[in-house]
Amino acid sequence: MAAVGTWSFSRPAVERMRCMLLAGQNATDVVETAMAEVEDDGDTGRHIVGRGGYPNLKGVVECDAAIMEGVPGRFGAVAALRGIAQPCRVARKVMEKSPHSLLVGEGAEAFAQELGFTSEPNANMLSDHSATAYREYLEKNKPVRGGHDTIGVSTSGAPFKSPGRVGDSPLPGCGLYADHTVGAAAATGDGDKIMCYCPSFHVVQLMRQGSSPNEACRAVLADIQRRIGGDKCFEIGLISLNMKGEVGAASSVEFPHTFWSQGLSSVEELVINQQK
Ligand code: SD4
């Protein structure tokens, strides 16, 4: 048993997963519940996940989220979803109740409403922080500084993005990939670039061929860097775990991440340096 999360902000989610896994709960329930809590916790310092996430160029919060079960391949995702505070729960419903795998925009919102999710006005999705940041962006063209806090499978995406923009997070093989016989991987960072390299699928493939999670993440990042030139590499953090509960990560920027595996008494945080 193990759980991992991207960036320091993932700690409460990983802590929640640790408790639920130790209580014997099913992995999909564990991921969905832990994510829903951090998606819906409003203004607590996380600004790129769910409620309280930075809005798009028009001031509207649009979220991407996905969930995947490895064997047999089952996948569900939503993208550019408005007004729903727990997009990860909708992603799971797409996986379980829809004949499709990825629903976007109005269609995703209508699907959520049909299944009983409450669609909220945009004002409820903004936090004081994200509304102020948006105003400053409009008035002073001031971009958001200070890193990322997308958590693995859920994000409000790039701050002040074009309406309808979809990042890597809800795309299988890009923002996430899972195979119950091997392990799982997730990516964070500049999703517009990340999606060109399918890094999560690549990490899992390397683990299938015998690499440790750490070796696999480092090799995939090195491959991207080799292809585009290490000094030109965009922001990307990769995280993975295998069925033995081993965890690995690699990143083109300083990358704090949190993890727990059986045998550890608490959730730990590791900051890895930029890989060159
Ligand atoms: C995206 N990859 O939508 C996400 C953003 C991210 O921390 O990871 N932010 O591009």
How does pLDDT run across 104-151, given as a tens digit for each residue?
999 999 999 999 999 999 999 999 999 999 999 999 887 776 556 666
Ligand 1 in reach of 62 Cβ (< 6 A)? no
Beta strand 102-104 pairing with 74-82: parallel
* 31 contacts: CB under 8 Å, gap ≥ 6: 17, 67, 88, 153
DSSP-derived secondary structure letter, 232:
G
pLDDT in tens, 45-70: 778 899 999 999 999 999 999 999 98
pLDDT in tens, 13-46: 999 999 999 999 999 999 999 999 999 987 677 7
Kindly give the distance from the C-alpha atom of residue 265 to the centroid of ligand 1, in angstroms, as a whole number. Answer: 30
Over residues 244-265, mean pLDDT? 94
Ligand 1 in reach of 256 Cβ (< 6 A)? no
pLDDT for the residue 145: 64
C-alpha torsion 177→153→35→105, nearest 10: -130
Atom number of ligand 1 nearest to Cα 189: 8
Tell me what percent of the residues of the chain surpass a pLDDT of 90.
Answer: 87
Ligand 1 in reach of 155 Cβ (< 6 A)? yes
pLDDT in tens, 174-199: 999 999 999 999 999 999 999 999 99
> How many Å apart are CA 132 and CA 70, to the nearest integer?
40
Active site annotation includes 33: no
The mean pLDDT of the chain is: 94
**Would residue 93 be called left, alpha or beta, if left means φ above 0 and alpha means ψ between -120 and 50 degrees?**
alpha
Ligand 1 in reach of 34 Cβ (< 6 A)? no
Residue 226 CB neighbours (<10 A): 10
Q: Which residue among the candidates 150, 155, 181, 258 is catalytic per the annotation?
A: 150
**The pTM of the whole model exceeds 0.90:** yes
